[in-house]
Amino acid sequence: MCDDDIRKKIEKECACADYQPPCLSLFDRLAIPKGERVLGVYKCHAYHMSKPRVELIKSRLQELYSMTPEETERYFQEALEKARKLALRRKLRRKLRAEFLRRRRKAQEDCAYKFAYKLLVKSMRFAARNPVPPLVCVRLRNLSDIVLEQFCDLRNINHPEREDPDKTGLFMMTIADWFAIAIEIIYYAVQYKKNKELEELERQEERDQMKDKSESTDELVIQTTEPIPDLDCK
């Protein structure tokens, strides 16, 4: 059933003189898309639409912009070429960004590797020149065993026994003990800094609370000290 039949049917059913039929022309105008939107659909989504649908959009644009088929075809070719160039530019930008991120990540990994290598070399030299103090704390001994196991896995050597180590095992144990002591010192330094920051935050919160209380007290005093109006009768 077409729109004219629907309108006739509605007018026939509503024969009352006071009745006004609905404004179907407004619906018709709202149902027609604007030329800018049709053109945007063609520019952005024509490449993945079916050929009949693209031809339908072309014919609709010819009606909207009053162009000849040749002008319309040329215009659409230029629009598609611009869309392709824009897509290629975006793709190239994504590739360049990915390459930049990859190189930056590689540089960060190299920097971290060099730092760890220098730290390991300096620690090994320090461990070779300075005797390690006895690890009385059980926590330090357990931490040293973990570090020693990691070092042995990296060097692909057997885990030495602390009761009867050889020369290499004794050297590795010394390095692991020094690393355990350094880790504990760093841990306590970080905890101390963290506690100081928490104390500073608590003091700042207390100052803010005292400031809010003083402001509320001042407002209350101002309200209670307002001048009383003169009530004497003249």
pLDDT at 218: 61
Q: Are residues 82 and 136 in the same domain?
A: no
Assess if residue 141 is contained within a domain: yes
pLDDT at 39: 73
- pLDDT band of residue 231 (cuts 50, 70, 90) is very low
The last residue of one of the domains, among 64, 89, 114, is: 89
Check if the beta carbon of residue 123 is closer than 8 Å to that of residue 147. no
Assess if residue 233 is contained within a domain: no
Assess if residue 146 is contained within a domain: yes
> How far apart (Å, rounded) are the C-alpha atoms in residues 16 and 32?
31
Q: Which domain holds residue 24?
A: 3-89
Q: Are residues 74 and 145 in the same domain?
A: no
pLDDT at 57: 80
Check if the beta carbon of residue 174 is closer than 8 Å to that of residue 135. no
Q: How many helices (H) and strands (E) does the chain have?
A: 7, 0
Assess if residue 219 is contained within a domain: no
Q: Are residues 77 and 139 in the same domain?
A: no
Q: Is the confidence at residue 234, as pLDDT, over 50?
A: no
pLDDT at 25: 67
Q: How many domains does the chain have?
A: 2
Assess if residue 216 is contained within a domain: no
Q: Are residues 13 and 83 in the same domain?
A: yes
pTM over 0.75: no
179: number of CA atoms within 13 Å, CB side?
24
Assess if residue 12 is contained within a domain: yes
Mean pLDDT of 210-219: 74
DSSP code, position 17: T
- Per-residue b/e over 176-202, b at no fewer than 16 CB within 10 Å? bbbbbbeeeeeeeeeeeeeeeeeeeee
User: Higher pLDDT residue, 122 or 233?
Assistant: 122
Mean pLDDT of 111-134: 82
- Give the helix ranges, DSSP H, for 130-225: 138-155, 167-224
> How far apart (Å, rounded) are the C-alpha atoms in residues 183 and 177?
10
Please provide residue 83's backbone torsions phi and psi, each rounded to the nearest 5 degrees. -65, -40
> How far apart (Å, rounded) are the C-alpha atoms in residues 37 and 3?
24
The last residue of one of the domains, among 89, 119, 149, is: 89
Assess if residue 229 is contained within a domain: no
Assess if residue 225 is contained within a domain: no
pLDDT digits (tens, 9 = 90+) for 85-94: 888 999 999 9
Q: Are residues 7 and 68 in the same domain?
A: yes
